[in-house]
Structure 1
């Protein structure tokens, strides 16, 4: 952010009123004392006291007039480093003031407006800034709560050497600091899914090129003669070769349950915040491993919503897609929905590859909906944040029953007790997959392998 501003104005009635309103407590005291001394001197006939009273009364008025007529022009800028920071981490805000006028400034007081959750409001005192000079200051902000926080506008105060008058100016622009959920680096375990629901069941890998497509094209200079498709050559009367299928990226959908009735409590240590942080960690991990990923919520909203079927497309889009999904998770809140049917409608529309879900409380109906989601994925892992489990620290009977139904449907379902690290649960999901792999069939996709 960069913007220019100035002190000074036209000598009109409104401008003088603004200048007089800038008198400080000291300036008003001087003015009141001077008027009182002048009245007493007139009543008592003391000329010396009258001169003192006039001096006390005129001094703050002269300071206000001179300060108002001084034409300082300054430009302010703000830079965030970084502009997107995980919860609990610090960001540094750099402020820069440039004196673009031909006159040196007086004493400047700089103040930036920040939300209270980021810390106290920073204030700085800048000494005289020479003509064409600049001053740079910085401060740190930190928040344990994710969200988008406005910084600014920047306020600048100019005072006279006696501290009798103070004028303020505010810049109109502001910047936004995005606090994203905490992200845990996950281990590169291999959690695989079944061939069922993943097309023809052939292995798909980012590093493995696809097989030859049966649709031919005309021969081009340099094509390998071993790729000549003789049947098409005889049909079209010219040399035809088989196309090469582009490598297909493995897909992963991360589902976040945001229903208000599915979570209890609030704050950084609540179950919902754990689910949001786990979702962010999973998205980052799968992007780093070369997957095409998307974020899906119970409301049916999909992010990034671009490319094929809403997944992040080519590898050069991964950084933009990650930023968009992190910005979404920074401000995601509870929904008023009561079920997972909208998310199921999105998932049943096609082949979704790997599915990782973070569920809250599940009743029988929503457990059945979640079980049907498994039919449209090559592999499925569920982290269930049951309210009783989160409160008691151990899975409740209701939670155990929900986990059993999900596992019978093909999910690798795990309960999440409070204080549990996603890294440990990630490894537990791999061990659960390994223990049931003999019954699951051939693997088609991996988690970070």
Structure 2
């Protein structure tokens, strides 16, 4: 009812006063009160007409800087309102609708505008800042502009229904580099220097084995031998790493399967995943991001290509858990190959799971395992067979867990 009532407190008082004049005039016979009451009602009618009878069109567009918001970081929202109205409009207030995935104060003064009969559309630029609160895609809008007549008797709220979808990417944590472990981790950029002086004539092709990147296929040798061949030197000169996140919902809460940001543990796993990718790419590794069932979550990102990491962050804004549990398939993904670092991120991790992933540790120069909710001595057993393990907790410092896993083989990151 409050939204439908067109009068302000002052206008409501004027209406009551006008009606009272009619009643008192009838009781006392003072006809001047009738004229005064009619004048008040006429002013009220004119005030409402000035707001509701003017034809007005508005187009709202929004832009963000940066284009993709990040959890915990601020972004600038610029709102452009195109206005065409036949009569001058008084100043008012504006309020933009902010979803739960963002926080911010989106309100202010909407300026007065003159008549647009002789001119083109006027443009009003508004701006405010928002902070990412929850990963996902969230709609900003609609925009509401509330204005009053010059006498402050009537009010009107215009709601412009255009909404803008805002992508909120997961946060990234600056992890310690792996440069001190280059030899043990399969080599970083310094390994490439060992290949300097080898031209295209020195390429060595070998038979393709499951797990080799399709980008390393040597097509000339493949055509000559009528079987898939890959470039052996590229494997040596381009260090590779894999980041694997287990999305099986049995290891998380069921909420993690339906909406981003619903399960704090799964959110920690996502942050760990994108942070590990950013660290490895920065260190010069070519990184592939996989699910434990073999699904490629992001195409291979070449070493030092941080622009592709930004694209990955936007892709991971909507990633959720899935129904199947496929941790046991991890061994087949790395069978027959030896690679650089493998970062495995899981939720609940039982002692029985250790046997499922035991062979993988022998196919990596730096196998790293991070669990949100380890059970019993599961991580101790994994460390005994070669995994560098760590506990990641939503309230703890991920960088500490990462450094401890790389440096000591065991790190509990509780705050």
TM-score norm. by structure 1 comes to 0.67
Residues 349 and 374 of structure 2 are in contact (CA less than 8 Å); yes or no, is this contact kept in structure 1? no
| 1:427 paired residue number | 403
Cα separation, 1, equivalents of 2:5 and 2:352: 67
Pairing partner for 2:352 from 365, 374, 382: 365
Q: Say if 1:63 and 1:165, in contact at 8 Å, map to a contact too.
A: yes
Contact kept? 2:89, 2:113, Cα under 8 Å:
yes
In structure 1, C-alpha distance between the alignment counterparts of 2:389 and 2:127, rounded to whole Å: 47
The 3-state SS of whatever aligns with 1:386 is strand
Structure 2 spans left out of the alignment, 5+ residues: 206-230, 410-415
- Structure 2 Cα separation of the partners of residues 46 and 181 of structure 1: 73
Q: State the Cα distance separating 1:63 from its structure 2 match.
A: 1.6
**Structure 2 counterparts to residues 37-48 of structure 1, below 5 A:** 37-48=21-32
In 2, the alpha carbon distance for the partners of 1:124 and 1:244 equals: 63
How many aligned residue pairs are there? 366
| Shift, 1:282, TM fit | 0.8
The correspondence for 2:125, drawn from 126, 129, 136, is 136
Asked if 2 retains the 8 angstrom alpha-carbon contact of 1:114 and 1:151, the reply is yes
Inter-partner Cα distance in structure 1 for 2:338 and 2:175 = 25
Residues 42-441 of structure 1: pairs in structure 2 closer than 5 A: 42-100=26-84, 104-116=88-100, 118-119=102-103, 122-130=106-114, 133-189=122-178, 190-191=180-181, 205=191, 208=195, 212-213=202-203, 249-262=238-251, 270-298=264-292, 300-304=294-298, 306=299, 311-312=300-301, 319=307, 321-344=308-331, 346-348=333-335, 353-387=340-374, 398-399=376-377, 402-416=378-392, 420-432=396-408
Contact 1:263–1:387 (8 Å) recurs in 2: no
SS at match of 1:182: coil
8 Å CA contact 1:20, 1:61 repeated in 2: no
Change in 2 beyond 3 A, CA 1:192/1:382: farther
Q: 1:202-258: per-residue Cα shift (whole Å, max 9, x none)?
A: x9945646772368xxxxxxxxxxxxxxxxxxxxxxxxxxx9976863322212234
Whole-angstrom CA distance in 1 between matches of 2:123 and 2:191: 55
Distance change >3 Å, CA 116–CA 24, structure 1 → 2: farther
Question: What is the Cα deviation at residue 49 of structure 1?
Answer: 0.9
More strand by share: 2
What is the CA-CA distance between 1:112 and the residue it aligns to?
A: 0.3
CA 1:269–1:337 in structure 2 vs 1: closer, same or farther (change >3 Å)? closer
Matched residue SS, 1:360: strand
Q: Residue 350 of structure 1: CA displacement?
A: 6.6
CA distance in 1, matches of 2:315, 2:342: 19
Is this contact kept in 2: 1:83–1:176, CA < 8 A?
A: no
Separation of aligned partners in 2, 1:175 and 1:206: 46
Instruction: Rate the CA distance shift 1:420–1:50 in 2: closer, same or farther, 3 A.
Output: closer
Relative distance call for 1:324 and 1:302 in structure 2 (3 A) is: farther
1:161-191 deviation line (CA, Å, top 9, x unaligned): 1233333333333223333333222222344
CA contact (8 A) 1:303 1:324 kept: no
Return the structure number with greater relative CO, CA threshold 8 A, min gap 6. 1
Q: TM-score under structure 2 normalisation?
A: 0.72
Matched residue SS, 2:151: coil
